[in-house]
Amino acid sequence: MMKVTEPPKPLFQLRQLIYDTKYRSLTVQAIAMCLLVLFFSWLVNNTIQNLTALGKDFDFGFLTNIAGYDINQRLIEYSSTSTHGRAALVGILNTLLVAVLGCALATMIGIVAGVLRLSKNWIIARLMTIYVEGFRNVPLLLWILIIFAVMTESTPGPRDFRAGGSASMMLFDSVAISNRGVYIPFPVWGEGSGILIFVFLLSLISVWIFKRIAASRQQQTGIILPTFWISTGIVIISSIMTFFVLGQPVSLDYPTLGGFNFRGGLQLRNSLIALWLALSLYTGAFIAEIVRSGILSVSKGQTEAAYALGLRPNRTMNLVILPQALRVIIPPLISQYLNLTKNSSLAIAVGYMDVRSTLGGITINQTGRELEGMLMLGLFYLLASLVISAVMNIYNNSVKLKGR
C-alpha cells in the first residue's frame, strides 16, 4: 500500500492581491468597480438631496398639463390648449422631419460631390475640394445662421408681392419666395384619389416585375432591354390616364396673398429651410469624403478588368465600383447620419421648433422641470440614434461581402 500525500497547499496571503500577477488585475478591477458604484450612488444621492433642498420633486405629471404656448410648425393637431406631452410629440416629429430630409439630401450631395471630386476635369474637382473644405471646416452653427440670415434679409416680404410691389411669384404664380418662407402649391386629395394612389402603386409593382423579367432575360440571352424608359413610361402613362379618367381628383392648392401673409399652399418656413440646407451641406461634405475614400479603396485593377470586358465607364461605376465601395462607405455613413440627427438640436438658433425647443426649451422653462425634461430629451436622442444604427446595420449586412 502506498499512501498518497497531497502536496501542501500554499496559504493565501493578503499581499498576493497586489504582488501576485494572478490576482492583481482582479484587485484593481474590484477597486475600480467599487469606486464607480460609489461615484454613481453619490451622483444620484446628490441629485436627490439638491432636489429636496430646492423643494422640488421628481415627477413627470407636468406632461399632462396644458402647455399654453403655440408652435408654428406642427405635423399633427396641436393648439395652445394641448398638453406638454403633445407639444413634446410635435417637437419630436419636427426633429424627425428635418433629420430625414437632411439625411436624404446630404446623401445625394455627398455622393455627387464625392464622385465629382475624383473627376478628371480639373475645375470640377477643385470646385468640389473648395466645397468640402469650406463646409466641413466652418462650425455648423455659423452655416445655419448664415443661411437663415440670407433667407430673411435678402428675400422680399409678403407686402412686396401686392400689386405694384417689387416682388412677384415664380413658376406661373405658384411659388413665392418670401422672408417668411417659401410657399409652394399643395395637393388637395379629392374624391377618387384613393383609386389613383392604388393605380400608382400597382404600376410600381408591375415595374418591379418587369425589371425581374428583364434581368432574367438578360441572364439567359444577354439582350439588354431599355428598362429605364419602359418603366418610366409604365408609371407615368398609367397614372396620367387614371387621373383624367377619374375626372382629375387631385387639385393643387395655390398660395395666395391674403391679409398679412400668404394663405393656402404649403409653407416651408425659413427656419426649416435654413436648418435643412445647412445640415445637408455640412454633413454632405463629410459624406463626400467618405464616398471618395470608398471609391479609391476599390483597386484600379477592377476598373481595368471591367474596361477589358467592354463595359462602358458609367456601367463600370454602377455595376463594379460602387457595389464594392459601398462596403467601405456604409459604416462611416451611419455615424454621419447620427451626427446629423443630433446636430439638428441646433434648431433653436433659428427658432425651428424641434424637440429641443419645445420639450427642452419652452416646456422646461414654463414648468421648471429641468431634470425630467433633459432626461427625456436625452432618452429620445439615444433611442433615435439606436434606431438609425439598427436600420443602417441591417442594410450594411445586406451589402457586405458574404463569406462562402
Partner 1 sequence: MKKLFLSCLSVALLGGIAMAGGHEKGTLAAVKERGKLVCGSNTGLVGFAAPDASGNWQGFDVDMCRAVAAAVLGDPSAVEYVPLTTGTRFTALASGEVDMLSRNTTWTFSRDVDLKFEFTGVNYYDGQGFMVPKSLGVTSATELDGATVCIQTGTTTELNLADFFRVNGMNYEPVPVETNSEAQQQYLANACDVYTTDASGLAATRASFENPGDHVVLPEIISKEPLGPLVRHGDHEWGDVVRWSLNAMVAAEEYGVTSQNVAEMAKGTNNPEINRLLGSEGNLGEMLGLSPDWARNIISTVGNYGESFERNIGSSTPIGLARGLNAQWTDGGLLYSPPFR
Interface ranges with partner 1 (CB under 8 A): 25, 28-29, 31-32, 35-36, 38-39, 42, 46, 53-56, 68-72, 79-81, 152-153, 157, 159, 179-180, 258-261, 263, 270, 348-349, 351, 353, 357, 361-362, 365-368, 370
Give the count of alpha carbons within 13 A of 110, CB side only: 29
Per-residue exposure over 176-206, b if at least 16 CB sit within 10 Å of its own CB, e if not: bbbebbbbbbeeeeeeebeebeebeeebeee
- Distance of alpha carbon 282 from alpha carbon 285, whole angstroms: 5
Residue 62 CB, shortest distance to partner 1, in Å, is 9
Residue 387 CB, shortest distance to partner 1, in Å, is 28
| Contacts of range 345-351, beta carbons closer than 8 Å, 24 or more positions apart | 345/95, 345/381, 346/140, 346/141, 346/144, 346/275, 347/94, 347/95, 347/98, 347/271, 347/275, 349/141, 349/144, 349/145, 349/148, 350/144, 350/145, 350/148, 350/270, 350/271, 350/274, 350/275, 351/271
**Do residues 345 and 96 lie in contact, with contact meaning Cβ atoms separated by under 8 Å?**
no
Residue 307 CB, shortest distance to partner 1, in Å, is 50
Residue 64 CB, shortest distance to partner 1, in Å, is 15
Residue 19 CB, shortest distance to partner 1, in Å, is 15
Q: Give 35 or 100: the residue with its C-beta nearer to partner 1.
A: 35
Q: Give 284 or 360: the residue with its C-beta nearer to partner 1.
A: 360
Residue 264 CB, shortest distance to partner 1, in Å, is 12
**Do residues 369 and 329 lie in contact, with contact meaning Cβ atoms separated by under 8 Å?**
no
Q: Give 178 or 336: the residue with its C-beta nearer to partner 1.
A: 178
Q: Give 77 or 153: the residue with its C-beta nearer to partner 1.
A: 153
Residue 100 CB, shortest distance to partner 1, in Å, is 22
Residue 386 CB, shortest distance to partner 1, in Å, is 25
Cell 432574367 locates to 216
Q: Give 377 or 392: the residue with its C-beta nearer to partner 1.
A: 377
Q: Give 53 or 76: the residue with its C-beta nearer to partner 1.
A: 53
Q: Give 318 or 365: the residue with its C-beta nearer to partner 1.
A: 365
| Alpha carbon distances (Å) from 209 to 114, 166, 203, 225 | 33, 53, 10, 14
**Which of 193, 173, 168 is closest to 254 using CA atoms?**
173
Query: DSSP letters along 70-90, please?
Result: --S--SS---TTSBHHHHHHH
83 burial class (0-12, 13-18, 19+ CB within 10 angstroms)?
Answer: middle
Residue 255 CB, shortest distance to partner 1, in Å, is 13
- Distance of alpha carbon 202 from alpha carbon 194, whole angstroms: 12
Cell 415595374 locates to 207
Bridge partner list, 268: 182
Q: Give 267 or 336: the residue with its C-beta nearer to partner 1.
A: 267
Q: Give 148 or 380: the residue with its C-beta nearer to partner 1.
A: 148
SS3 186: strand
